[in-house]
Amino acid sequence: MSARSAASPRLAFDRTGQGEPLVLLHGQGLSRRSWDPLITQLSTERDVIAVDLPGHGESPRQPEGHGNAPADLARAVADLLDELNLPAAHVAGNSTGGWVALELGRLQRARSVTAISPAGLWRRKAPFYVRAAMRQTRLNARVVRRVAPNAPRTRLARALFMSTASGRPFSVPYEPVHRAVHDMATAPGFGETLHAMESRRFRDGADIQVPVTVAFGSRDRVLLPLLARRRAELPDQTRWQRLRGCGHIAMFDDPDLVAGLLVEGSRSDAASLGLVGS
């Protein structure tokens, strides 16, 4: 089911499958379509809710005065959960979406959190190379979309565009890359969300009382270990995973591996780990 109309929630989303609810949050400049490679597999075990964050995909920008930092985006997703009558859900996110997922954990709206290559785990603010790379990727996407709307058709063109974000750039299929180019070029809230994110870091993770899984691809060249993977602010119960052969957008490289990670990460609840009273 795809949803957003005058009578439906403000954020665009797709919902499909059965089982416990699992909310999926995409990375900076992308959309809920970035999860397409694993939706079918996930929906056999979870009630999957893939969301467009404010100012991305089909979701409008944040209302004036609501802010664009990851914590603000988390509150927008929490409003969607209210509209769907979900006090809490398992939450998973990639990159900026991973940071937003952690913020939902802090808001006590997550039953579990799985963060794939989450942003925000830097010392004070985003490293310069991350800020520069995001702006260059946005510019590249706009140029590609204007010059060749159906690009990147060839394996070489896809590899060039995905060289930083993918661990296997020559193997990424056409459709997810083409969609990523479109989303990156057209996201209306790209500028304000990037600016708000890059001047902050994730903090106060000890407030999270549910299971947390943090996973980085072994070939993630966007968030480097010594600069953007600090563990100090994460809760003690955080489980760290390594996604072999994957880059920053791991679901493009190995959908089966990521789907398995999300199912496993959302299999336990806080009570089963002894984190809260049953």
How many structural domains is the chain composed of? Answer: 1
Whether 88 shows a pLDDT value over 80: the answer reads: yes
Q: What is the enclosing helix (H) or strand (E) of 90?
A: strand 89-94
CATH number of the domain encompassing residue 7: 3.40.50.1820
Q: Report the percentage of the chain scoring pLDDT > 70.
A: 93
Asked if the structure places residue 277 within a domain, the reply is no
Asked if the structure places residue 23 within a domain, the reply is yes
Asked if the structure places residue 274 within a domain, the reply is no
Which residues, in sequence order, are CB contacts of 198 under 8 Å at separation 6+?
125, 126, 130, 131, 134
- Among 141, 177, 154, smallest CA distance to 251 is for 177
The 8 Å CB, 24+ separation contacts for 205-208 are 205/102, 205/105, 205/106, 205/233, 205/234, 205/235, 205/238, 206/233, 206/235, 206/236, 207/105, 207/106, 207/235, 208/102, 208/105, 208/106, 208/110, 208/113, 208/235
Residue 93 bridge partners (DSSP): 25, 115
- Residue span of the structural domain in which 69 resides: 2-265
pLDDT at site 268: 62
pLDDT at site 9: 73
Asked if the structure places residue 79 within a domain, the reply is yes
Per-residue pLDDT reduced to its tens digit, 18-71: 999 999 999 999 999 999 999 999 999 999 999 999 999 999 999 999 999 999
Whether 243 shows a pLDDT value over 80: the answer reads: yes
Provide the pLDDT confidence category of residue 8 given band limits of 50, 70 and 90. low
Asked if the structure places residue 275 within a domain, the reply is no
- The predicted model scores a pTM of 0.94
pLDDT at site 3: 46
Per-residue pLDDT reduced to its tens digit, 181-227: 999 999 999 999 999 999 999 999 999 999 999 999 999 999 999 99
Whether 265 shows a pLDDT value over 60: the answer reads: yes
Asked if the structure places residue 273 within a domain, the reply is no
Asked if the structure places residue 118 within a domain, the reply is yes
Average pLDDT over residues 76-84: 97
Per-residue pLDDT reduced to its tens digit, 124-161: 999 999 999 999 999 999 999 999 999 999 999 999 99
Distances (CA, A) of 248 to 81, 86, 130, 173, 245: 27, 30, 12, 16, 10
- Nearest-angstrom CA–CA distance, 2 and 142: 26
Q: What mean pLDDT, rounded, does the chain reach?
A: 93
pLDDT at site 269: 62
Asked if the structure places residue 77 within a domain, the reply is yes
